[in-house]
Structures are given as structure tokens and as C-alpha cells.
A and B are shown apart, each in its own frame.
Chain A
């Protein structure tokens, strides 16, 4: 089992551009959540996807959007990038009703 995998691992974008981050959940998991972790801070919940729909959303602007595919993989899209969007983006997967969520290795996004 490969666990939760994210791609790419590192990314540099220019302010105003758009970015797509990808996540493949752990085998058997159907729920994917995305988090933003700024340097020196705790992860902040962005949103959660289940059955291809956004189930929960944190306090992030509409520039942040996502998608879940039939195979449960997920994408996080960020439009009109700001310098403040520079962070580690973490994906976590879980199985509905299970106690534990597993995190991927993250994507380090740098906006210049």
C-alpha cells in the first residue's frame, strides 16, 4: 500500500497564476481533506471531499476550489495566487466512520 501520495512535492509559481495540486488517497479510503500549513503554524482545514462532493469547508476564499474523482483521488486548485498562499499543502485521507486520517507528504508551494 503506497499510502497517501501527493504531487508535485515542490512547486514555484508567480503571483496571479493558478495552481493544481493532486492527491491519491490510501487504498480503501473514500474521504479526502486538504490543509494549508504556513511556516511555523498548525495545519488549517481548507475543505473535505466525499463521494465527489465538498462536504465541509474552512475559512478560505473561493479562489480555493477542489474536486474529487470517482477513484477518490482529489485535486486542489488555487486561482490568482498571492504571496500569502505560500505554504505546505497537506492532503489527508480516511475511510468513512474510521477513527484515523492519514496524511500525505505534502506539496510545498512557493509563490514569488
Chain B
């Protein structure tokens, strides 16, 4: 059974700091996704990673994928308050399996 584990589950950080969220998954997969969810809202697609070594960046967020290690990272550079949200990684193996999410709170 495919399992997706994220850590940390909760993260409180100061504005301007850098941090990384980790996502491990248990079996091979075709695709890895990162989503953002604001309270009470739906999921916003951030990144789709398709191959080993893939790196994508959008603003202060950068995601990478190491399929050999079954690991993806979401790196936050110089965090700002607007990035406060819950971030999910998800792995696609015919169906999308989500991690439990990382609740990120950025302090002004």
C-alpha cells in the first residue's frame, strides 16, 4: 500500500527565514504533486513533478524530486506571512494519495 509521509506536520517560523518541508513515499510513482490549502478552501496546485531530479520554482517556493530516494522537498525562501497555509504532497499511482499535510504558520 502506498504511503506518503510529510514532516514536519506543524511549522511556525519567522518571516524572512528559510525552511524545507519533506515528503517521503513508500513505492514508485509516476508523479508527485504539491498543493496549498487555505483554511476552509479547496486545494491549489503548486507543482507537478514528473521525473527524477525535477526542480520547479515559483516565487519563494521551490520543489524537487528524488525518485531513487522516494523523497520530495518543498523549500521556502525568505518566508512571508502570505505563505501561511497547509501544504500537501501527494503521489499518483493510478489514484492520488495525500500526505497528512504541513500546517505552516509564518509570524510577522
Contacts and interface: CB of A to CB of B under 8 A. Distances in A.
Interface of A: 33, 35, 41-45, 48, 56, 58, 90, 92, 99-106, 108
Contacts, number: 47
Contact-size category for B: 20 to 34
A34 to B, nearest CB: 11
A101 B96 contact: yes
A108 to B, nearest CB: 8
A42 B5 CA distance: 11
Interface of B is mostly: strand
Contacts of A101: 33, 45, 96
Contacts of B94: 56
Contacts of A102: 45
B79 to A, nearest CB: 22
Contact of B100 (A35, A41, A105): A41
